[in-house]
Structure 1
Amino acid sequence: MRQEKTGEIAMLMRLRQRLQQVCHIPAGRTRWPPTENEGSVKHYTYRVEWSPEDGEWVALCVEFPYLSWLEASPTEAFAGMLRLVGDVIADMEASGEDPPQPLAESD
């Protein structure tokens, strides 16, 4: 049991390091993704799954069902989707639109 927990922690640390590399996060910075809407994108609901028809990993966001991001690896797909959602939120706010409420913050 303890070895499994240690293995999971090591895997999560490697995933975090890879996300920092993919998102181009400066050393010492712990928050991600690097967008103006950094805080708001973290509250949305994401999923990354293999797409047999595309032959790549696809990242999806439940609150933005019309968006998707394809990449060769799941971490790159997730990082790309985080940046895309941040860009969409910025565009919506710039045009006076309200972004959708994250499911995690719904009543």
Structure 2
Amino acid sequence: MVNKKPESTLLLEYEYDENIPASIAVIRAIATVEEVDPTTLSTNFNDTLFDRIDPGGFDALVTAGTTVDLVIEFTIFGYRVRIEDEARILIYRR
């Protein structure tokens, strides 16, 4: 018997310009779901993406994915964030 994680509800498929850093795009995507200005997320959640990851390293990792198949998945602010390629972010309810 295989224990599978229950499927989460997809809230947003967010495509962004490849000239925008992935770390900024993640913030914008979550702000879109929350229907708030991206600059207020840290106040709303008393936390920041940058407290959890190195934005430069994260952006470099996502950009490196242009030459390989890459999937990055993590949770923040009560959402599961999945990046499947350089310019596509999926936001799920956790």
TM-score with structure 2 setting the length: 0.29
Bigger relative contact order, structure 1 or 2, given CA contacts below 8 A and separation 6+? 2
Name the one with the larger helix percent: 1
Name the one with the larger strand percent: 2
TM-score with structure 1 setting the length: 0.27
Q: Rg bigger for which structure? A: 1
